[in-house]
Chains A and B, each alone.
Chain A
Amino acid sequence: MAGSLTSLRDPRYRARLRALALVAPLVIFIGVTFIAPLGTMLTRSVYDPVVADVLPNTLRLLDSWDGVGLPSEAVYAAASEEISQAEAERSLGLVASRINRVRGGLRGAITHTSRELRNVQQGSRRESMIAIDSVWSDPATWHAIQVTGERFTSRHYLNALDLQRLPDGSVVSQPDERRIYVHLFWRTLMISALITLLCLVLGYPIAHLIARSPPQRANLLLILVLVPFWTSLLVRTTSWIVLLQTQGVLNDLLVAIGLIGDDGRLSMIYNMTGTIVAMTHVLLPFMVLPLYSVMRGISETHMNAAASLGATPLQAFLRVYWPQSLPGVGAGALLVFILAIGYYITPALVGGSDGQLISNMIAYHMQTSLNWGLAAALGGVLLAGVLVLYVVYERLIGIERIGLR
Chain B
Amino acid sequence: MMSGTRPKFGRILYLGFCTLVFVFLVAPIIVIVPLSFNAEPYFTFTEGMLRLDPDAWSLRWYREIIFSEAWVKSFVNSIVIGVSATVLATFFGTLAALGLASSAIPARRAIMGMIISPMVTPVIIAAAGMFFFYSELGLGQTHLSIILAHTVLGVPFVVVTVTATLAAYDSTLNHAAASLGAGPWTTFRRIQFPLIAPGVISGSLFAFAASFDEVVVILFMGGIEQRTIPRQMWAGIREQISPAILAIATFLIVFAVLLLLTVNWLRQRGEARA
Segment among B58-66, B189-197, B241-249 that sits at the interface with chain A: B241-249
Q: How far is the CA of A285 from the CA of B29 in the complex (A)?
A: 14
Query: Is residue A397 contacting chain B, with contact meaning CB distance below 8 A?
Result: no
Given the interface contacts A30-B115, A227-B257, A231-B253, does A386 sit within 8 Å of B122 by beta carbon? Answer: yes
Interface residues as binary, B70-103 with A (CB distance below 8 Å gives 1, 0 otherwise) = 0000000000000000000000110110111011
Interface residues as binary, B151-190 with A (CB distance below 8 Å gives 1, 0 otherwise) = 1100101011101100000000000000000001000000
B31 partner, pick from A233, A243, A342, A362, beta carbons under 8 A? A243
Interface residues as binary, A205-247 with B (CB distance below 8 Å gives 1, 0 otherwise) = 1100100000000010111111111111111111111110101
How many residues of B are counted as interface, with CB atoms below 8 angstroms from the partner's CB atoms? 96
Query: Is residue A171 contacting chain B, with contact meaning CB distance below 8 A?
Result: no
Cβ of A221 and Cβ of B92 under 8 Å apart?
no
Q: Is the interface of A mostly helix, strand, loop or mixed?
A: helix
B126 partner, pick from A38, A227, A228, A242, beta carbons under 8 A? A38
- List of A residues within 8 angstroms of B241 by Cβ: 241
Query: Is residue A194 contacting chain B, with contact meaning CB distance below 8 A?
Result: no
Cβ of B25 and Cβ of A40 under 8 Å apart?
no
CB nearest neighbor in A for B17: A205
CB nearest neighbor in B for A11: B104
Q: How far is the CA of A206 from the CA of B15 in the complex (A)?
A: 9
Interface residues as binary, A366-400 with B (CB distance below 8 Å gives 1, 0 otherwise) = 11000010011001001100100010011000011
Cβ of B25 and Cβ of A234 under 8 Å apart?
no
- List of B residues within 8 angstroms of A34 by Cβ: 117-118, 126, 130, 152
Cβ of A206 and Cβ of B28 under 8 Å apart?
no
Query: Is residue B264 contacting chain A, with contact meaning CB distance below 8 A?
Result: yes
Cβ of B129 and Cβ of A405 under 8 Å apart?
no
**A287: shortest Cβ distance to chain B, in Å?**
11
Interface residues as binary, A247-264 with B (CB distance below 8 Å gives 1, 0 otherwise) = 111001000000000000
Query: Is residue A359 contacting chain B, with contact meaning CB distance below 8 A?
Result: yes
Query: Is residue A341 contacting chain B, with contact meaning CB distance below 8 A?
Result: yes
Query: Is residue A18 contacting chain B, with contact meaning CB distance below 8 A?
Result: yes
Given the interface contacts A33-B148, A38-B126, A383-B122, does A224 sit within 8 Å of B22 by beta carbon? Answer: yes
- List of B residues within 8 angstroms of A225 by Cβ: 25
**A27: shortest Cβ distance to chain B, in Å?**
6
CB nearest neighbor in A for B42: A247
Which among A39, A230, A349 has the highest number of chain B CB atoms within 10 Å? Answer: A230
- List of A residues within 8 angstroms of B111 by Cβ: 23, 27
A23 partner, pick from B35, B100, B121, B125, beta carbons under 8 A? B100
Query: Is residue A182 contacting chain B, with contact meaning CB distance below 8 A?
Result: no
Q: How far is the CA of A206 from the CA of B109 in the complex (A)?
A: 32
Query: Is residue A143 contacting chain B, with contact meaning CB distance below 8 A?
Result: no
CB nearest neighbor in B for A404: B160
Query: Is residue A22 contacting chain B, with contact meaning CB distance below 8 A?
Result: yes
Given the interface contacts A41-B128, A234-B233, does A23 sit within 8 Å of B260 by beta carbon? Answer: no
Cβ of B160 and Cβ of A379 under 8 Å apart?
no
Query: Is residue A26 contacting chain B, with contact meaning CB distance below 8 A?
Result: yes
B32 partner, pick from A206, A238, A404, beta carbons under 8 A? A238
Cβ of B122 and Cβ of A359 under 8 Å apart?
yes
**B135: shortest Cβ distance to chain A, in Å?**
10
Q: How far is the CA of A349 from the CA of B160 in the complex (A)?
A: 30
Cβ of B26 and Cβ of A234 under 8 Å apart?
no
Q: How far is the CA of A382 from the CA of B159 in the complex (A)?
A: 26
Query: Is residue A313 contacting chain B, with contact meaning CB distance below 8 A?
Result: yes
Interface residues as binary, B1-23 with A (CB distance below 8 Å gives 1, 0 otherwise) = 00000010010001101100110
Cβ of B152 and Cβ of A33 under 8 Å apart?
yes
- List of A residues within 8 angstroms of B252 by Cβ: 231-232, 235
Q: How far is the CA of A36 from the CA of B136 in the complex (A)?
A: 12
CB nearest neighbor in B for A362: B124
CB nearest neighbor in B for A338: B120
- 5 residue pairs of the A-B complex, CB under 8 angstroms, read A41-B125, A233-B215, A242-B246, A249-B43, A405-B267
Q: A-side interface residues toward B, CB under 8 Å? A: 12, 15-16, 18-27, 29-31, 33-42, 44, 202-203, 205-206, 209, 219, 221-243, 245, 247-249, 252, 281, 284-285, 313, 338-339, 341-345, 349, 359, 362-363, 366-367, 372, 375-376, 379, 382-383, 386, 390, 393-394, 399-400, 402, 404-405
Please name 4 further chain A to chain B contacts, defined as beta carbons within 8 Å, in addition to the given A202-B21, A205-B21, sorted by A numbering: A20-B105, A26-B96, A205-B14, A234-B230
CB-CB nearest 3 A-B residue pairs: A342-B122, A22-B99, A37-B129
